[in-house]
Structure 1
Amino acid sequence: MALPAKIIERFNKRIRIFQDALQRAKDADRNESDTVAIITDILADVFGYDKYMEVTSELAIRGTYCDLAIKMDGKFQYLIECKSVGTELKENHLKQAADYGANSGIPWIVLTNGIEWQIHKIRFEQPISHELVCNFNLLQINPRKEEDQDKLFLLCKEGLSKDSREDYYEKMQCLNRFVIGGFILSEPVINVIRKELRKFAEGLKVDNEEIEKIIRQEVLKREILEGEDASKTQAKIRRFYKKQFKEKEACACVKSNISENVPQQENISSENQQKESAQ
């Protein structure tokens, strides 16, 4: 994604300043309150928010207040759970942030200690779940690399108007190991592999079941094929192909009806011409 020059310039000017500040804060083992102050400045100076009008710590959720939230045009855009700069982000921290988001109806949550940044999206389904959309280490980020710029832009004020986070999320939904693995195991792809193998070794006799077994046992990692994420993705791919098959059948049926009606219309036209000639 090509970002506006002014945003890239902002990244180049500000990121290095905060990399130094965060490293010094970590070395000094600054507490959570001090870290929140640094994160607030990052939200303003790097990501472009007005820290007095658009960054708030006054979002109450079931009797407690979240650390920070981004609010624009009367709507909360991000809920931000902060930990001290020296704290390693763990699953229980994410659960806390996800619970805040679920209870407040805010789908986009950020978990950060100033150095590590995790962007998650809550899926309001049964049961409620959440997915990691993007994560980065601010000490290691390179503001001149396009890939790193894209990650930073997800949190930018300007990115909200372009809805870049939704576009990035949709891309990640398609380009991940579970989806790629699911397609590799799908019947159309295995058919192609079988055909290419027969070209590669003339006379080779191999069926889809043999190819699938090798892929499952020797090519793909077990974590890609097993578990809740893998099962959901494989079911989604099966529905995709099933829908395509139904659409092809419907299209073939329409074409068949058209071809059957054409001769009848031609006969009617011919009969009319004969009647006109007789008259």
Structure 2
Amino acid sequence: MAIPIKVFERISAGLKKFQPILNSAKTRDVNESDTVVVITDMLSEVFGYDKYSEITTEHVIKKTFCDLAIKIDGKIKLLMEIKAIGLDLKDDHIKQAVDYGANAGIEWVILTNGMNWQIYRITFSKPIDKELVYEINFSNINPKNENHIEPIYYLCKEALGKSLLDEYHSQKQALSKYYVGQMILTETILDVIKRELKRLTPGVKIENEEIEEVLRSDIIKRDVLEGDKALDAKKKIQKAANTYLRSSSPVPKKENVASTNNESQLEKDLPDPEPAST
């Protein structure tokens, strides 16, 4: 991902400023309120959000309050649940953050203590599900390393406004072990494997079912093929295949039907031929 130069420079300069601030805050074991203050400044100076119009504090969600909400063009795009910098992020904190997002209908939530940032995407299924897309540890980031900067960039105003975080998630999802595992088991890929095996062993009869059995039992790990994530990947791959088949099927041209109807009507409108004179 190519990061705009001005954005890269802003992030890099912001990291150099805030890494010592975060380290000092952790050493002093500052409370949650002070941690929120530091993160609000980071969202402005590192991530590029306007502190007064795009960062909302204590956002109300069903009579409770989420610590911070990020707005773009007046619409909330991201919720943040913040803990004191000295606290380890635990499962009950994750549940709290995800519940806020689920109740507000917001897909993206961040759980952070300032130093560690966990970025979650919520799936509005039954039941509600979550996915830890990636984590950032600000103590380990090199401000000059573009690979270190890229995960931060996806959360910046410039990227979030263009849905680049969603694009990154889709790419990561497509390359996940669940998608690749299910893709290998499709008839298209099994046909390719069968063709290549027959090329290696001419005359040997090989069926797709036999190849699939070897893949399932000896090659692909069980956790790749079982569970909700594997099932979800299978459904999406099948849906994509069905969509492709429908789009590639020939469709009768409507103009031919219309033309035939017009010709029939024309024949009806023509006068009967006069009898030949004798």
Q: TM-score, normalized by length of structure 2?
A: 0.81
CA distance in 2, matches of 1:91, 1:40: 24
Cα separation, 1, equivalents of 2:13 and 2:24:
18
Query: Is the 1:181–1:224 Cα contact (8 Å) retained in structure 2?
Result: yes
Listed one character per residue, the Cα deviations across residues 170-189 of structure 1 (whole Å, up to 9, x for unaligned) are 32332222111110111111
Alpha-carbon separation, structure 2, partners of 1:172 and 1:16: 29
Q: Which residue number in structure 1 is paired with residue 26 of structure 2? A: 26
Asked if 1 retains the 8 angstrom alpha-carbon contact of 2:72 and 2:161, the reply is no
Deviation of 1:122 after TM superposition, in Å, equals 2.5
How far apart are the structure 2 equivalents of 1:155 and 1:91? 23
Residue 202 and residue 145 in structure 1: after superposition, are their counterparts in 2 closer, same or farther (change >3 A)? farther
Q: 42-51 or 212-221, which moves further after superposition?
A: 212-221
| 1:273 match | none
Identity of aligned pairs, percent? 45
Alignment partner of 1:34: what SS?
Answer: helix
| Structure 1 residue 167 corresponds to structure 2 residue 167 | yes
Where do 1:171-186 residues align within 5 Å?
Answer: 171-186=171-186
Q: C-alpha offsets along residues 62-109 of structure 1, whole Å, 9 cap, x if unaligned?
A: 222211111343222211001122322233212111111122222221
* Alignment partner, residue 154 of structure 2: 154
Is the Cα–Cα contact under 8 Å of residues 8 and 143 in structure 1 kept in the other structure? no
TM-score (norm 1): 0.81
Change (3 A) 1:146 1:202: farther
Q: Whole-Å Cα distance in 2 between the matches of residues 154 and 139 of structure 1?
A: 18
> What's the counterpart of residue 250 of structure 2?
251
- C-alpha separation between the residues in 1 aligned to 2:165 and 2:204? 48
| Matching residue of 1:231 | 231
Counterpart-to-counterpart distance in 2, 1:191 and 1:203: 16
CA shift at 1:19, angstroms? 2.3
The AA in structure 2 aligned to 1:36 is: V
Equivalent AA in structure 2 for residue 142 of structure 1 = N
How many angstroms apart in 2 are the aligned matches of 1:90 and 1:134?
A: 16
SS state at 1:136 partner: strand
Structure 1 letter corresponding to 2:69? A
Q: Deviations over 1:24-57 (max 9, x none)?
A: 3333333322222221121111101222332221
Moved over 6 A (4+): none
How has the CA–CA distance of structure 1 residues 191 and 48 changed in structure 2, closer, same or farther, with 3 Å as cutoff? same
Output the amino acid matched with 1:30. Answer: V
Unaligned runs of 5+ in 1: 262-279
* Structure 2 unmatched runs, 5+: 261-278
Structure 1 residue matching 2:87: 3-state secondary structure: coil
Partner residue of 1:78?
Answer: 78
The structure with the largest helix share of the pair is 1
Q: Secondary structure at the match of 2:80?
A: strand
Are residue 196 (structure 1) and residue 196 (structure 2) matched? yes
1:45 partner letter: E
The answer for the alignment partner of 1:16 in structure 2 is 16
Quickly say closer, same or farther: Cα 1:247–1:5, change in 2 above 3 A.
closer
SS of equivalent residue, structure 1 residue 231: helix
Aligned-CA RMSD value = 2.5
1: CA distance, partners of 2:17 / 2:204:
63
CA 5–176 in structure 1, closer or farther in 2 if over 3 Å, else same: same
3-12 or 15-24: which moved more? 15-24
What's the secondary structure of 1:97's corresponding residue?
Answer: helix
Match of 1:276 in 2: none
Q: What are the residue-to-residue correspondences of 1:77-156 with 2, within 5 Å?
A: 77-156=77-156
Structure 2 counterpart of 1:53: 53
- Shift of the 217–46 alpha-carbon distance from structure 1 to 2, 3 Å rule, reads same
Distance of 1:196 and 1:253 partners within structure 2: 37
